[in-house]
């Protein structure tokens, strides 16, 4: 959009949050109560990325505090993974009216914020939640086919899962989400192995954790 510089570089998550809170790059700012930049540690191994804030998030300025967030917290704690140990945000930082799907221009307007949040947090695993989050990373992606698989994305692993809101409405999605989240500790441990990303199939950039979990990762650049 004319008048906005998407090439600007932010030095910290706080700086991004401040910019997001005053952002007027798309129409969503007109009806927001609070923008929802995201929250979590400045650096961590897991970064969860949803689609857009809902009603409760808009009221508080905090991501995933409604019913979907409570379900996510419960599934994570069963692993256990705790919210204090992950960074969580959305592709779009302001609530779309009536919780409709984000529009392409709204996603584009927030892209600079999300991309730089990822760079600053520097996670080993990016967990995309839902269809619109997946499409940010894989424009050709299909959540029904891609959930629970690992993809190579900019020298990181991308791990798509169903959105918790979808899991609240569909028992099959709930079961898939539960299974995919339960795999995260093993994937995190595996990601510490030298050559972890070398196990991505270079033809389609995907690896199935169930297929490769027992294989040894080897760093070809070091032989002791």
- Residue ranges of domains in the chain, CATH in brackets: 14-192+202-212 (3.40.470.10)
Distance of CA 193 to the CA centre of its chain: 22
> By the 8 A CB rule, do 88 and 78 touch?
no
Cα 171 to Cα 3: distance, rounded to the nearest angstrom: 46
pLDDT band per the 50, 70, 90 thresholds, residue 142:
very high
Alpha carbons within 13 A on the beta-carbon side of 98: 1
pLDDT at residue 199, as a whole number: 66
Mean pLDDT score of the chain: 87
Residues in the chain: 224
pLDDT band per the 50, 70, 90 thresholds, residue 216:
very low
Cα 45 to Cα 56: distance, rounded to the nearest angstrom: 27
């Amino acid at each position: 959009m004319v008048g906005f510089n998407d090439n600007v570089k932010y030095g910290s998550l706080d700086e991004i949050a401040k910019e997001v809170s005053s952002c007027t790059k798309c129409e969503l700012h007109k009806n927001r109560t609070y923008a929802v930049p995201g929250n979590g540690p400045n650096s961590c191994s897991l970064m969860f990325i949803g689609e857009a804030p809902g009603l409760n998030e808009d009221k508080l300025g905090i991501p995933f505090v409604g019913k979907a967030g409570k379900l996510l917290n419960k599934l994570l704690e069963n692993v256990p993974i705790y919210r204090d140990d992950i960074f969580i945000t959305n592709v779009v930082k302001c609530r779309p009216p009536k919780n409709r799907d984000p529009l392409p221009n709204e996603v584009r307007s927030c892209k600079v914020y999300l991309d730089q949040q990822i760079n600053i947090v520097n996670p080993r695993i990016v967990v995309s939640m839902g269809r619109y989050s997946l499409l940010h990373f894989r424009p050709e992606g299909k959540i029904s086919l891609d959930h629970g698989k690992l993809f190579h994305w900019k020298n990181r692993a991308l791990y798509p899962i169903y959105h918790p809101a979808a899991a609240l409405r569909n028992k099959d999605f709930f079961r898939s989400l539960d299974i995919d989240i339960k795999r995260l500790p093993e994937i995190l441990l595996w990601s510490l192995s030298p050559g972890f990303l070398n196990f991505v199939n270079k033809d389609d950039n995907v690896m199935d954790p169930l297929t490769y979990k027992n294989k040894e990762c080897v760093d070809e650049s070091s032989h002791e």
